[in-house]
């Protein structure tokens, strides 16, 4: 099957990215500093990534924007809405090949075509937020991406 003309083939080396991030955050415990470093490194690691960042849990069933790279994001996302809300509400990663087909998708940016969102757990096991990666390409993410980012997030935030 031929690759879509607007599809960028990933050359991301997840193992190298993981090692680089772990070296950068070694000894750091501040969650916002960790989020800022992860968002920056991941965003610049692959051309598929159009917006990369965190939404932080700030109250029961409510998240607000955290460190990110890319255009403006939504400022507030309730657990009851969108892909990020679904990840927070269910505690499950959300791999969405076509955001237009996702019921109740929140369009923070009209350029977003696909999305990968992973819940982020703190060292005490509590949900501290979600890590959101948007792409301006359809079907930009694979299960291997979700699995690699899951391991990296656990290593960074849970130690």
pLDDT band at 53 (very low <50, low <70, confident <90, very high): very high
Q: Is residue 100 part of a domain?
A: yes
Q: Is the pLDDT of residue 108 over 80?
A: no
Q: Is residue 4 part of a domain?
A: no
Q: Is residue 8 part of a domain?
A: no
Q: Is residue 7 part of a domain?
A: no
Using a cut of 0.85, tell me whether the model's pTM lies above it: yes
Q: Is residue 3 part of a domain?
A: no
The reported pLDDT for the residue numbered 8 is 52
How many domains would you assign to the chain? 1
Q: Is residue 25 part of a domain?
A: yes
pLDDT band at 11 (very low <50, low <70, confident <90, very high): confident
Q: Which CATH number is 47's domain given?
A: 3.30.450.40
**pLDDT per residue over 55-97, tens digit each?**
999 999 999 999 999 999 899 999 999 999 999 999 999 999 9
Q: Is residue 58 part of a domain?
A: yes
What residues are paired with 47 via a beta bridge? none
Q: Is residue 36 part of a domain?
A: yes
Q: Is the dihedral of CA 23, 141, 145, 61 positive or negative?
A: positive
Q: Which of helix, strand or coil describes residue 86? A: helix
Q: Smallest Cα–Cα separation from 132: which of 157, 115, 152?
A: 115
Where in the sequence is the domain holding 36, given as residue range(s)? 14-157
10 Å CB burial of residue 27 (0-12, 13-18, 19+) is: exposed
The reported pLDDT for the residue numbered 7 is 54
């Amino acid at each position: 099957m031929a690759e879509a003309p607007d599809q960028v083939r990933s050359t991301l080396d997840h193992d190298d990215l993981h090692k680089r991030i772990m070296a950068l955050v070694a000894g750091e415990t501040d969650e916002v500093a960790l989020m800022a470093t992860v968002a920056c490194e991941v965003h610049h690691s692959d051309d598929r990534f159009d917006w990369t960042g965190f939404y932080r849990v700030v109250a029961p069933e409510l998240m607000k924007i955290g460190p990110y790279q890319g255009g403006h994001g939504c400022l507030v996302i309730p657990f009851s809405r969108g892909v990020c809300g679904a990840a927070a509400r269910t505690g499950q990663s959300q791999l969405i090949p076509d955001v237009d087909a996702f019921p109740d998708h929140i369009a923070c940016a009209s350029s977003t075509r696909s999305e990968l969102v992973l819940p982020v757990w703190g060292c005490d096991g509590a949900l501290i937020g979600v890590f959101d990666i948007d792409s301006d390409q359809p079907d930009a993410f694979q299960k291997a991406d979700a699995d690699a980012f899951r391991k990296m997030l656990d290593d960074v935030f849970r130690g």
